[in-house]
Every structure is written in C-alpha cells, then in structure tokens.
Structure 1
Amino acid sequence: MQTDLIQEARRQAEICNACRYCEGYCSVFPSLHAERAFSDGDITQLANLCHNCRGCYYACQYTAPHAFDLNLPKALAEVRRDSWERFTWPQPLARRFHTHGGAIALALVVGFALLFWATRAIGSSGGEGFYAVLSHNAMVAIFAPAFLLPLFSIAFSLRRYWAEVNGKPIQMSDLTVALKRAGKMQDLAAGHGEGCNFEDEDRFSQARRHIHHAIMYGFLLCFASTSVATVMHYGFGLHAPYGFWSLPKLFGISGGVLLTLGCGAMALLKQKSDRDLGDPSAWGGDIGFILLLGFVGLSGLVLYALGSTPLMPALLAIHLGSVLTFFLLTPYTKMAHGFYRLAALVRDAQRKRDVSMVR
C-alpha cells in the first residue's frame, strides 16, 4: 500500500516537474522543481511540506477528465497520512486514530471514566479549589506520564522521518526560518499571498489561515498557562487557585476562547471542503481530533465559569478526562501534523541553504 501511494505521488510529481506552471505557489513546488528524480524520501518530504491549500489543483490543466488525471493535493495527503502511520510507535494505534473519529470518541469516554474513578478513589486529603477534589500530587502522577510518554513517541517518530528525508544536523538558522514560516502560516497564504482554495474551489480565502492561527496560538496560550502555573507552584511557592488577573488565568482563558472558536470554525470549514482533494479515509479522524481539541478548550471555559458551583467536581473530571485523552492521543491523531510540518520546513530551509551555498 505504501509503495502504491508513493508511486502515484511520484508519477504526478514528475508531470508537475515537467509543466512548472505552479512554480511559485507554495514551498512544495520550488522543492519539487529542484529534483530530477524522486526517491521515496523526497516524496515523503514533499507530502509533509504540503499544507493542502489546493491552489495547484484548481490551476492545473491536467486534472480529470484529462488523461493525466492529476490530483496532487490528494496524492500528497495520502502519502502524508501514511508516513505518520509508518513512523509512529506503536503503529496500530496510529492506523486506528488517524482514520476513525469513533475511536477518538471512545478514547474520550475512557478518559472521562478514568478521571471520575480517580476523583472518587484517590480524592484529596485537603486543599483549595480543584485540589479539594483531586490532590495536586495525584494530578501530577496522572498527567506527567501522559505528557512525557507521547513526547517520547513523537521524538522516536521524527527520528525515523528525519532519516527517510535525509535530514542533516540542524543549525539554529534552519530552525529560525522554519518557526517564522510556521508562525505566519505562510504556506496557507500560497505564493501569491491571497490565501488558499480549501473551502470554495477557485476563490481565494484567508479563512483557513486565520482559523489555524486561532487554534495554534490558542493551544500555545493554554500550554503557557500550565507552564507558568508550574513555575509559580514549584519555583515561587505560589499555589493555585489563582486570581483572574494572574498569568495562568489570563493565558488559559484567552487560549481557551481561541481554541474553542478556532476548532468550531475549522469543523465548519471542513464541511464545505471537497473531500476528494484530501485523504478521504482520514476525514473522520480529522473531524474527531478537531472536536476533541475544541472540547478541551470549551470544557476548560465551562469549568472556570461554574467552578464555584456544586457542578465543579463533575466538570473537573470531564475537563481533565478530555485533557488526558488529548495528551495520550497526540502522536496518533492529526495533532502529529504540527511536528512533521515543522520538521519538513526545517528540512526545506536546509535545502535552500545548500542551494545558496552552491551559488
């Protein structure tokens, strides 16, 4: 199956390389046109460099019913998903969660059950706020492994990816260029800067780019909230609960709002898009992940709003259950794409640096 997907993507890439009409569209085409022949690693790199903006498809004169039958966004999307599944450890989990939204929903239910059980069985020996329901030490014991083990899995996967795409030792300049491109979501604006064609055929739109910004920065703010709270707790002896104007609360609430709105908008946007220009088999898994991530943000906001009511223990278990599920599934859902895309951008920065040195 892997060979068939890469062979089809290679066939299409060779035709695109001969045509070169889309040369300035995004990062994919300069990288594609730099080669004369494509190894499996080259195709994997192109696939992860592609942001599925679909501009090349609507500009192409060789799409169906032409005999060439080009659909490069779909071909690269299928290779991209297959690469995540091949590199991820353990593989069976990736193959399940990348394509089945129902599996994500089931995992969420299990996450809820575990946290409800923890609040009942472990409880708290005293404390304020949320710690009156589940002790701080119990939360650390549950969530530290749930955070660290997926990071190990992702690191292992990226090492496999880096070897396949013939990655070189990373210089700080490579990482800086990649982070700037990722922060601006530059490839979702395509080469012309007018946006992409994800949701409305040949009409350019910045909607997908802005929604990605909301989700990415919302997630980073939520992560910053937890990180700052950890430093305050262990570094300065300032323990939760924190007031509204504290950094953990300001980061957490603003991040939760962006995350909830961004995921809701993304789910609606995907309903408008043409599934045949992506990987149709992964559509259910994508929607399941988006809804899970949005639920993490929404449940956190509801918990904050109703945290002083008798509903707090149940809401805390629901929110923590969703966070636990999200952490554990990170290597096996669409969340992994952020790590692979950044790695692909770093590799592309290396390619550009090598070209400039030759010149």
Structure 2
Amino acid sequence: MQQLEALTREAAALGQGRVIPIRALTTDEAEVGRQMQICNACRYCEGFCAVFPAMTRRLEFAKTDIHLLANLCHNCGACLHACQYAPPHEFAVNVPQAMAKVRLQTYTEFAWPPALGKLYQRQGLTLTLALAAALSLFLALAALLQGGLWQAPGPGSFYAIFPHNLMVGLFAPIFLFAALALAIGVRQFWRSESPGPLSGAAAGEATHDVLRLKYLGGGHGEGCNNEDDAFSLLRRRFHHLTFYGFMLCFAATSVATLYHYLLGWQAPYGYLSLPKLLGISGGLALVAGTLGLFWLNLRRHPLQQDLAQRPMDRGFIALLLLTAASGLALMLLRQTSALGLMLCLHLGAVMALFATLPYGKFAHGIYRSAALLKWAIEKRQPSRLHLTED
C-alpha cells in the first residue's frame, strides 16, 4: 500500500506539468492528464469501462488522447465511488467530472461552423423552451392570419393548416444543416488522430456497444452510481427508452415520407398504420425515458457531473419531452378544434429540437459513438508502449 501511495504521489507530481506533453492544453484538459497519470499508476479501476484499458496503452496524454478518453467516458460514476484518491483526498481524483468538462470542450472545438461552437455553453432549460415557445407562437400567428388556427377538423386537416410542401420547406433545411454540422464536427474529431484501418470486427464491436449502451452498465454490468454507492440500472434503461423512442419516432416520419412520395398516400393515417404504430410506441418510450432521466438528473450527486452543464442537460431533456408529449397530444386531439394550436406547439418543438441538435446535448451520443469506434480499432493495433520499447 505504501509503495502504491508513493507511485501515485510521483504520478500526481508528474501530472502537474513536468511530463505531460502540452500542445495548447486548456486547464480542464491538463487536469484530465494529471488524473490519468495517477490512475495509470494505480490501475485499480482498469476493468470498469473503456476509458481505463485505453488509458493503459499510454504513458503520456496529449490533447488528442485526452479528447478520446473523455468521450469514451459514459459518466457512470463507478470509478469515482471506487477511488481511494477521490475528494476529499489531496489528489482530488474525480474522473467523471473532469471528463465531462473536457467533453464540452471537444464539442466546442470541433463545432462547425466554428463561430457557433460557443452555443454549447449557452444553451439551457430557459433558452431551449423559450426558442420552442417563440417558434410555436410564430406558427400560430401565421395559421391565425390564414384563418386555419381554429378551423373544424377534417380529412387532411394538418395540410389544411400548413400545406405539406411548406412544412417540408421549413424543416428540411434545418434538419439537413444539423446533420451536416454534426457530420463535419465528428469528422474533424476523427481526423485529429487516426486510430488505424477500419475492420469489420471493430465496426461490429462498436455498434454492439453503442446499441446496448454497454458502458452505462458500469463496466461490470451492475449499473451506474447515481447518487450513492449503490449500483442501479435505471440510468441505462431510461437512456434505452429515450434513444430507441427517438429512433422509432424518426422511423415513423421516414415511413410516412415514403408513403407520401412513393405510394401517394397522404396523412393522416389510421391508428393501425405503420407510421402511427411506430410513432405511438416511440412517443410513449420517449416520454417515459425523458421523465426518468430528468428525475435521475435531479437526484444525481454533484461530484458526478459538471454543474455548469446541468442547464444544457435539462434543456435537451425538456425539449425531447415536449416534442414527444406534444406529438402524442396532437394525435389525441386531431378530431377537435384544438388541432391547429397543438400542431403549432408540436412543430415549434420539433423545429427547436432540430435547430439545437448540432450545438447541444445530442452531440454527446454522436461523439461517444465515434470514440467507441476509435477504441475498437485501436485495441486491435500494436500497443504504443511496445512500439516505444522496440
């Protein structure tokens, strides 16, 4: 034990600036490097998640290494609760919190266009809800001026309020811009340091880990530490509901688009149609998942998160919840005079969600998936340590 203490003390001293190669490291990135030096000397947590085996392949931590490790971290909290050097110890090792701060910097640094990267630090619950409300109000005023806001419902009522081509013209550019901005950002993250050639085995492993949210099981599969030392799978399950609920809703929209353009079948569709079945199941899963995540966020221990990002986290959760809940309400109210108002609320929420996708919490899933693929490729390559020794 005394020998381990001596090694970690030496690593802590080295991590304070004497060894880590610094290429314009920020304060938060240097802090992750310091903590990784200590963790690399200790090695107690190396089985918890992908961060620690990736860490052991490095003796030094450059900027690209720190970005990779930060995005491999799923913030499950297991290492914090197991760490003998966690606060209030003088080493103050808090890997989940340190990694969370660097993740935000990653999104900001690789954002496209670069000038919009600062939006990551400004989004919050109030801003996202205000944006959704403003867009909904704009749509409601437009519908009111056209005399369609309170019109009696009937066949094709959605398109009687907002013609199909108008809705496509409003949403397609926003969605395509969001997809392009995220793709360019992740491409820059990927190209910052190539992990090696892509193989089918690496792609399959990364896909498996992403779809199962493997590392939200705490590495050993027992779950995350949300507010205390007890393991719980609730965070993983609520993330599954949110992720697959979102994907089902996206699938519903995609199928409805094929119905409209390929088969010439116009909305609204029956309750037993494929778009409705996908949309209803996805909406219910999304409501349950976001409510659960919001509840866990309120109960989360402050040491397990970057408190400065809490408004952004809650804003994204609230926007997903509003999108799903308004979509379900729209379905239930489509035969009433409230159809127009509810349609404006739903479209405003969806538009706000698309507009903020590239510069909000949604990005963490994209970057984390890319980091998992990088790690799956890297682990199949010769270790840097062996190459250095040779």
Same-fold call, TM cutoff 0.5: yes
Tell me how far apart the structure 2 counterparts of residues 150 and 123 of structure 1 sit (CA, whole Å): 32
Question: How far 1:285 moved relative to its partner?
Answer: 1.0
Tell me how far apart the structure 1 counterparts of residues 178 and 195 of structure 2 sit (CA, whole Å): 23
How do residues 240-259 of structure 1 correspond to structure 2 at under 5 angstroms? 240-259=267-286
Moved more, 101-110 or 280-289: 101-110
Tell me how far apart the structure 2 counterparts of residues 239 and 245 of structure 1 sit (CA, whole Å): 15
Tell me how far apart the structure 2 counterparts of residues 122 and 37 of structure 1 sit (CA, whole Å): 64
Moved more, 174-183 or 237-246: 174-183
Question: How far 1:159 moved relative to its partner?
Answer: 1.4
How do residues 129-278 of structure 1 correspond to structure 2 at under 5 angstroms? 129-197=157-225, 199-278=226-305
Tell me how far apart the structure 1 counterparts of residues 312 and 184 of structure 2 sit (CA, whole Å): 22
Counterpart for residue 55 of structure 2: 32
Q: Deviations over 1:250-286 (max 9, x none)?
A: 0001100010111011101001101232111110111
Counterpart for residue 132 of structure 2: 108
Residues 100 and 142 (structure 1 numbering): CA distance in 2 closer, same or farther, change over 3 Å?
A: closer
Tell me how far apart the structure 2 counterparts of residues 180 and 114 of structure 1 sit (CA, whole Å): 42
Matched, 1:66 2:89: yes
- Aligned residue among 15, 33, 37 for 1:14: 37
Tell me how far apart the structure 2 counterparts of residues 253 and 259 of structure 1 sit (CA, whole Å): 10
1:213 aligns to what SS in structure 2?
Answer: helix
**Which structure's CA Rg is the greater one?**
2
Identity of counterpart residues, as a percentage?
42
Give yes or no for contact 1:77–1:279 (8 Å, CA) kept in 2: yes
Residues 328 and 107 (structure 1 numbering): CA distance in 2 closer, same or farther, change over 3 Å?
A: same
Structure 1 unaligned spans of 5+: none
Question: How far 1:177 moved relative to its partner?
Answer: 1.7
Counterpart for residue 84 of structure 1: 107
Q: Deviations over 1:122-170 (max 9, x none)?
A: 788x971311111101011001101101111111111111122434454
Matched, 1:50 2:63: no
- Aligned residue among 337, 348, 352 for 2:375: 348
Question: How far 1:106 moved relative to its partner?
Answer: 2.3
Letter matched to residue 261 of structure 1: A
Structure 2 unaligned spans of 5+: 1-23, 149-153
Give yes or no for contact 2:110–2:117 (8 Å, CA) kept in 1: no
Letter matched to residue 196 of structure 1: C
* Superposition CA RMSD, Å: 2.1
Question: How far 1:307 moved relative to its partner?
Answer: 0.9
Number of aligned pairs? 356
Question: How far 1:20 moved relative to its partner?
Answer: 0.3
Give yes or no for contact 2:197–2:377 (8 Å, CA) kept in 1: no
Question: How far 1:97 moved relative to its partner?
Answer: 4.4
Tell me how far apart the structure 1 counterparts of residues 104 and 288 of structure 2 sit (CA, whole Å): 26
Letter matched to residue 104 of structure 1: T
TM-score (norm 2): 0.87
